[in-house]
A and B are shown apart, each in its own frame.
Chain A
C-alpha cells in the first residue's frame, strides 16, 4: 500500500508549477519596479505607496468593500428565512426545493448577468449602483441559502421539542436554539459571498456601465489595458490580504459563537 504514495508525486510537481510559482510571481511583481530584468531585481514598496496615497484608489477600495458588505447582508436577510422555511418542509419537498435552487447555479454566470442587463433596461432611471447590487445579490443568494439550510437541517429537532416543553414559545425557541446553532452556516455563507463579491469585476462591468469601477476592474485594467503588471500585482496582493483578514475575523466570530 505504501507504494501508492508515489502516485501523488506528479501532482506535487504540478502544484509546484501551477499553484506555488504563480503566487511567487505575483509577490515578485508586486515588490519590484517595471522594466528591470531578472538579473537586476530592485525591490521597492512604491507600488503600495502609490495605491494608498491616491484618494481615487482608496475610493475604489472603499466602494468594493461597501458593495460586498451590503450584498452579503442582503443575502443573509433574504436567504435566512428562505433556508429556514425550506428546512421546515417535508423531506421530499425539501430535496426538490434545494434542487430548484441549485439548478441555476450550473448555468453560466455571464449569460445570467446578460439576461439581467436586458431586464434592467426596463428600468431606465435606476442608478448603476442598484443594478450592480441586484446582479450581485442574484449571483450569490443561492450559495447563502444552501449553506444556511445545511446548518439548520443538521440541527437536532429534539432540541426544539425540549425548548417548547420548557415553555418557550416559537419565537423564543428560534432566537435561543435555531439561530445560535445556525451561525456556522451563516459564516460559511459569508465566506462564499463576501470574498468573491469583493473581487468581482464582471457584474459591475456588465450592469454598472463603463464608469463603475471596483477593485477587480482596476486589476483588470492594469493587467490587460495599461500593461502595468507590477502595480496590478500590488493591487491584487492588497485585495488578497484584505480577504485573508476578513476570513480570519469571520473564523474568530465563528469560534466565539461556538464557545457560547
Chain B
C-alpha cells in the first residue's frame, strides 16, 4: 500500500513538473509585463507602464489590427468555402473525393515554409504586388483544409435519408441544405472556424513570405523587432487572458448545456 502511494506521489509530481515547464514562459511574460523597468531578468517593481506603452505604440497597434482583420476575413471566407466544398465532396464520387482530399492535405502536411514560398512564387510570377490582399488570400488558402477536415467526418456520419425525406416532403435542395444538413453539422462548422481563426491569428511563416514589406501582423512585428520591448509582454499577457477566456467558455458551454438537458429530462 505504501509503495502504491509513493508511486502516485511520483506520478503527480512528474505531471506538475511538466505543467510547470509548459506554463513557465507564460507565467514569466505575465510577471514581466508588470515590471517597472525594461529588464527581462530582474523584477524591480509593479507598474502598468508597458500596458500604457502598448496602447500608444502605433506600429504595434497597427499590427494587432492587421492580425485581427486578416483572421476575421480568413475565418469567414474559409469557413464558407470549406463548408460548401465539404458538402459537395461528401456527395462526390469516391475517386474525385480521394484526389481532392489528397491535394487538400498538402498544405497540412507540407512544412509551412514550403507552402509559404510556393504562394510567394505564385504571387510574384503573376506580378501581384504583395500586400494585405495577398496575405489574406494566403491565410484563406491554408485555413480551408482544416475546415474541410473538421466538417467532412461529421457529414459522412449523417443519414442521407433525412435530406432525401425532406425533399420527398416537398423541400427544394436549397431548403434541404439549410434546414436539414447545415443544422446537423453546425458544431463541426463551429470548431472548424475556431481552428481557422487560431491558425490565422498565430501564423508567422506563411505571412512573413506573402505579406510584403508594408504589412505586418503581430508575429511579424515581434520577429522583426530589433531591440527588446517589454510592451510585447503586455500584449502577450492580454492574448493569454483572451485565449483562456475563449477556451474556458468553449468548454463550459457544452458542459452547462448538457447539465441543463439532463435536468429537463
Chain A: residues with CB nearer than 8 A to chain B?
A: 1-12, 14-15, 17-23, 25-26, 29, 78, 81-82, 85-86, 88, 97, 99-101, 103-104, 106-112, 114-119, 121-122, 138, 141-142, 145, 195-196, 198-199, 201-202, 205-206, 216, 219-220, 223-224, 229, 232-233, 236, 239-240, 243, 247
Contact = CB atoms under 8 A, between A and B. Distances in A.
9 contacts: A4-B91, A14-B141, A18-B122, A19-B104, A25-B121, A86-B15, A104-B22, A198-B111, A236-B114
B29 A115 contact: yes
A138 B202 CA distance: 16
Q: Looking at chain B's contact residues, is the secondary structure mostly helix, strand, loop, or mixed? A: helix
B122 A112 contact: no
A236 B117 contact: yes
Contact of A108 (B107, B177, B201): B201
Please give me the 9 A-B residue pairs with the lowest Cβ-Cβ distance, nearest first: A22-B118, A8-B88, A7-B88, A11-B85, A118-B40, A199-B111, A115-B25, A18-B141, A115-B29
A240 B19 CA distance: 33
B243 A239 contact: no
B25 A199 contact: no
Interface stretch (B50-58, B182-190, B234-242, B256-264): B234-242
B236 A8 contact: no
A233 B122 CA distance: 12
Given A81-B14, A104-B22, A118-B32, A110 B125 contact: no
Contacts of A223: 117, 120, 209
Interface in B11-70: 11-12, 14-15, 18-19, 21-26, 28-29, 32, 40-41
B135 interface: no
Interface string B208-222: 110000000011001
B141 A23 contact: no
B218 to A, nearest CB: 7
A219 B239 CA distance: 30
Q: Looking at chain A's contact residues, is the secondary structure mostly helix, strand, loop, or mixed? A: helix
A9 B204 contact: no
Given A18-B137, A26-B121, A115-B25, 10 more contacts: A1-B173, A10-B84, A22-B122, A85-B14, A101-B18, A109-B202, A118-B28, A121-B40, A196-B112, A233-B117
B150 interface: no
Contacts, number: 215
A17 B140 CA distance: 13
B133 interface: no
A107 B173 contact: no
A146 B82 CA distance: 26
Contacts of B141: 14, 18-19
B202 A26 contact: no
Most B CB within 10 A of own CB, among A12, A145, A198? A12
Nearest to B219: A110
Most B CB within 10 A of own CB, among A9, A78, A110? A110
B106 interface: yes
A141 B223 CA distance: 22
B212 to A, nearest CB: 11
B111 A110 contact: no
A100 B247 contact: no
B239 A19 contact: no
B253 interface: no
Q: Contact residue range for chain B?
A: 35 or more
Given A7-B85, A108-B239, A142 B22 contact: yes
Contacts of B201: 108
A82 B15 contact: yes
B4 to A, nearest CB: 10
A138 B115 contact: no
B36 to A, nearest CB: 16
A106 B247 contact: yes
A22 B121 contact: yes
B158 to A, nearest CB: 11
Given A21-B122, A115-B29, A202 B223 contact: yes
B24 A199 contact: no
Most B CB within 10 A of own CB, among A5, A17, A122, A205? A5
B105 to A, nearest CB: 10
B88 A240 contact: no
B85 A23 contact: no
A115 B240 CA distance: 13
A133 to B, nearest CB: 13
Given A7-B88, A198-B111, A233-B117, A12 B100 contact: yes
A213 to B, nearest CB: 14
Contacts of B25: 112, 115-116, 119, 138
Contact of A239 (B11, B32, B111, B160): B111
B232 A111 contact: yes
